[in-house]
A and B are shown apart, each in its own frame.
Chain A
């Protein structure tokens, strides 16, 4: 009986801790969003942090990531086009490849890439700031750290995910055109007709909302996890580990929710 009680107590405590961190994350997301909506939140200091975040998250990785996305898109488009032709479904090749790539894969891969690169860096930085007392020091000097340090990271992260998704999606459209129609412009009206069918207004709104949710997740979860780090140096790697695992689940949950909303 004692063993069972011990086990349930431990599981209960772990469940409560998980619940608390998700609650704090949602609370932080709400606060950051509200702060971001207030024009008074922006000054030269916050703008500098937003620009730095966009530089490190999107601009620095743009060439490499675009190349990778182009390669992936090219291979997948070729697979879809070849398979569709083999089954006599070449009319659907363009539509299917665009649905797979632009609506599902590219936004998710972009979010995962940004999460791995910038999410982990943000989580580490905020955890170290918390452990070393930098947040307290800034607040003692009269600086609202939510407004100066964290909200701009969220804004910068969201803009970066949106921008990278847009760039890779446009690239995928160009590659799909080239794969299906070849290097000529006469089929452009056919191409735009198919694209108009795939990217109607609800789909465009869906992809925008999904990318915004991805952008929010890749910054809010690492910041919230960093802020929840106890002030002990050995907790820094544990904080990053937890943050990355939670971020992965959140991204997958957004993707599954988006798929379910669209197709079920």
Chain B
């Protein structure tokens, strides 16, 4: 995308996607595990233990089980990003839209990190789109 206006336009056109974005924070008073478990607990009426099991499995896949009991202010950028991604993924939406990964992972060379992570979670994700500024295109491997 060229600018913020086109980013907003793209997001509003694809309102059926689940957004992983700097503008979509975690629930601050819940741990990472509870933030992720909340979705199946609420949407699929699972009891807490079953929902937390699902969340734990995803955290293990992503290699971030150490962040399970942490709350938002105690998380590193990577842990926060993984928590947001898993919160989106656990509802099994057709498309997850990762909005401006550079803002979500400011201290990380994010394209390889992102592809590694998505590969680990490949069986738990349907489709994942990355929404980034056009000038960041050279960072991504050619498709």
Contacts and interface: CB of A to CB of B under 8 A. Distances in A.
Interface residues of B, number: 22
28 contacts: A43-B45, A44-B41, A44-B45, A44-B46, A44-B47, A44-B48, A45-B42, A48-B41, A129-B27, A132-B25, A133-B25, A134-B25, A134-B27, A134-B28, A136-B23, A136-B24, A137-B23, A137-B24, A137-B26, A140-B18, A140-B19, A141-B18, A141-B87, A142-B18, A142-B43, A143-B38, A143-B39, A148-B42
Contact of A141 (B23, B28, B47, B88): B88
A80 B120 CA distance: 73
Contact of B25 (A43, A137, A148): A137
B42 to A, nearest CB: 4
A102 interface: no
Nearest to B11: A140
Contacts of B27: 129, 134, 137-138
B125 to A, nearest CB: 15
Interface in A188-232: none
Interface of B: 18-19, 23-29, 38-39, 41-43, 45-48, 51, 87-88, 91
Nearest to B84: A137
The SS class assigned to the A binding surface is helix
A95 interface: no
Contacts of B45: 43-44
B28 A43 contact: no
A41 to B, nearest CB: 11
Nearest to B15: A140
Nearest to B88: A141
A143 B45 CA distance: 12
B91 to A, nearest CB: 6
